[in-house]
């Protein structure tokens, strides 16, 4: 943990958040990242919110906060002007005027195992969790290192975060062999002599790397490898990354009766109402969840044998997909994502102590019930 003694900058907080939920994981339509502000700006206080509204901007300004972190971006589309004729533009104008930096982690936070859906699973106490619909490409990064430096280079590349397979980390394959090269004029060989064919005992290392870590892994390899011209290659794998994607499926520690479980869901997520299909299961054991709008994962929940699927934003016709195979449950978009602020808080305070970080007191859910 870093004790907050030196100045902190926006980029310091962004680095923490993006190590956990890389921006490269966001969907193509999304607008996650630093929406307004300067990564080099010094900050002293952070405000956390699920959404950005004018009330939240006012709270941030009046509270003297330098950085506002939200789950939902202020806008998903570009703006043609900054006239104060919509709440989005008014928010941006006020933020710019008061040097308020705004950062959002949206679908990139949805797409990680311990992100938005993972926090829902935490609240329900789900065990044996996995991504409901895995996604994201995997690559095999292969490189050749002289034996004397093989361990050092391998550990540096693994330190970026690749080499994870299920519950195993630092996974790699290493094979000893002989490399040959002829150093030409103008080269600066680490081993061998210019103008002479050299043979070197080397280790071939292969590490599975997710797409979002590929560039950083290659950058690290080139930085620590002793050769002037390291030999490396990338193979695009057909496998999908099991630790990125959407939704979570897991199990309760003990089966629960369906109606009491639904009542517990309502209480846990502070719902005014819970919409659901017929209670076709007497007991619940296998639970699927997805924060936000999750109707697109209904077939995945059914295919994986979920007894209940909990998400938000179901339309009328979406409920017919249940066909008495599971209980489809709509707790509301906001309700399913309201605990996202806790993720931000824990990520930052775990890395930086003695730093002012607060939850917004503004209720941003735009939906009200009679």
For residue 354, the model assigns a pLDDT of 85
pTM over 0.95: no
Q: Is 280 among the domain residues?
A: yes
Q: What is the DSSP letter of 20?
A: H
Q: Is 253 among the domain residues?
A: yes
Q: Are residues 322 and 343 in the same domain?
A: no
For residue 6, the model assigns a pLDDT of 82
Q: Are residues 38 and 74 in the same domain?
A: yes
Q: Are residues 308 and 355 in the same domain?
A: no
Q: Are strands 245-257 and 127-134 parallel, antiparallel or unpaired?
A: antiparallel
Q: Is 365 among the domain residues?
A: no
Return the SS3 of 37: coil
For residue 78, the model assigns a pLDDT of 86
Q: Are residues 262 and 276 in the same domain?
A: yes
Q: Is 209 among the domain residues?
A: yes
For residue 257, the model assigns a pLDDT of 98
8 Å CB contact between 118 and 248: yes
Q: CB-based contacts of 273: which residues, under 8 Å, 6+ apart?
A: 369
Q: Are residues 181 and 120 in the same domain?
A: no
8 Å CB contact between 48 and 3: no
Kindly tell me the sign of the dihedral angle through the C-alpha atoms of 129, 133, 51, 3: positive
Which parts of the chain sit beneath pLDDT 50? none
Q: Are residues 19 and 86 in the same domain?
A: yes
Q: Are residues 130 and 141 in the same domain?
A: no
Q: Are residues 332 and 264 in the same domain?
A: yes
Q: What are phi and psi of 94, to 5 degrees?
A: -70, -40
What domain range includes position 208?
A: 137-240
Q: Are residues 257 and 122 in the same domain?
A: yes
CATH number for the domain spanning 10: value is 3.40.1390.30
Q: CB-based contacts of 237: which residues, under 8 Å, 6+ apart?
A: 137, 138, 139, 140, 208
Q: Is 368 among the domain residues?
A: no
CA-closest candidate to residue 113, choices 166, 48, 171, 49: 166
Q: Is 255 among the domain residues?
A: yes
CA-closest candidate to residue 237, choices 208, 205, 214, 206: 208
Total number of domains in the chain: 3
pLDDT one-digit tens code per residue, 179-201: 999 999 999 999 999 999 999 99
Q: Is 211 among the domain residues?
A: yes
Q: Are residues 276 and 331 in the same domain?
A: yes
Q: Are residues 249 and 130 in the same domain?
A: yes
Q: Is 9 among the domain residues?
A: yes
SS (H, E, C) 317-350: HHHHHHCCCCEEEECCHHHHHCCHHHHHHHHHHH
């Amino acid at each position: 943990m870093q004790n907050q003694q030196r100045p902190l900058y926006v980029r310091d907080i962004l680095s923490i958040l993006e190590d956990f939920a890389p921006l490269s994981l966001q969907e193509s339509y999304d607008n996650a990242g630093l929406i307004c502000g300067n990564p080099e700006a010094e900050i002293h206080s952070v405000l956390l919110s699920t959404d950005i509204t004018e009330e939240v901007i006012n709270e941030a300004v009046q509270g003297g906060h330098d950085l506002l972190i939200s789950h939902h971006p202020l806008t998903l589309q570009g703006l043609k002007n900054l006239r104060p004729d919509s709440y989005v533009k008014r928010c941006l104008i006020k933020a710019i005027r008061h040097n308020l930096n705004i950062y959002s982690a949206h679908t990139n936070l949805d797409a990680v195992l311990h992100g938005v859906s993972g926090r829902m699973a935490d609240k329900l106490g789900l065990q044996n969790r996995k991504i409901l619909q895995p996604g994201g490409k995997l690559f095999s990064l292969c490189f050749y290192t002289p034996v004397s430096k093989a361990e050092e280079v391998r550990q540096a590349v693994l330190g970026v975060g690749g080499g994870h397979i299920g519950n195993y980390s630092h996974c790699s394959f290493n094979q000893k062999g002989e490399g040959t090269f002829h150093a030409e004029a103008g080269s600066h060989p680490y081993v061998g002599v210019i103008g002479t064919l050299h043979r070197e005992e080397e280790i071939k290392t292969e590490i599975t790397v997710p797409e979002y870590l590929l560039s950083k892994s290659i950058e690290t390899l080139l930085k620590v490898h002793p050769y002037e011209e390291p030999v490396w290659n990338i193979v695009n794998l057909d496998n999908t990354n099991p630790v990125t994607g959407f939704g979570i499926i897991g199990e309760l520690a003990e089966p629960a009766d369906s109606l009491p479980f639904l009542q517990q869901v309502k209480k846990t997520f502070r719902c005014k109402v819970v919409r659901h299909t017929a209670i076709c299961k007497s007991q619940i054991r296998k639970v699927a969840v997805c924060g936000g709008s999750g109707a697109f994962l209904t077939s995945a929940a059914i295919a994986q044998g979920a007894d209940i699927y909990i998400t938000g934003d179901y339309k009328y016709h979406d409920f017919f997909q249940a066909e008495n195979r599971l209980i489809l449950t709509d707790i509301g978009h906001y309700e399913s994502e309201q605990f996202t602020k806790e993720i931000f808080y824990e990520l930052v305070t775990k890395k930086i102590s003695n730093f002012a970080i607060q939850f917004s007191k503004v209720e941003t859910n735009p939906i009200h019930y009679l």
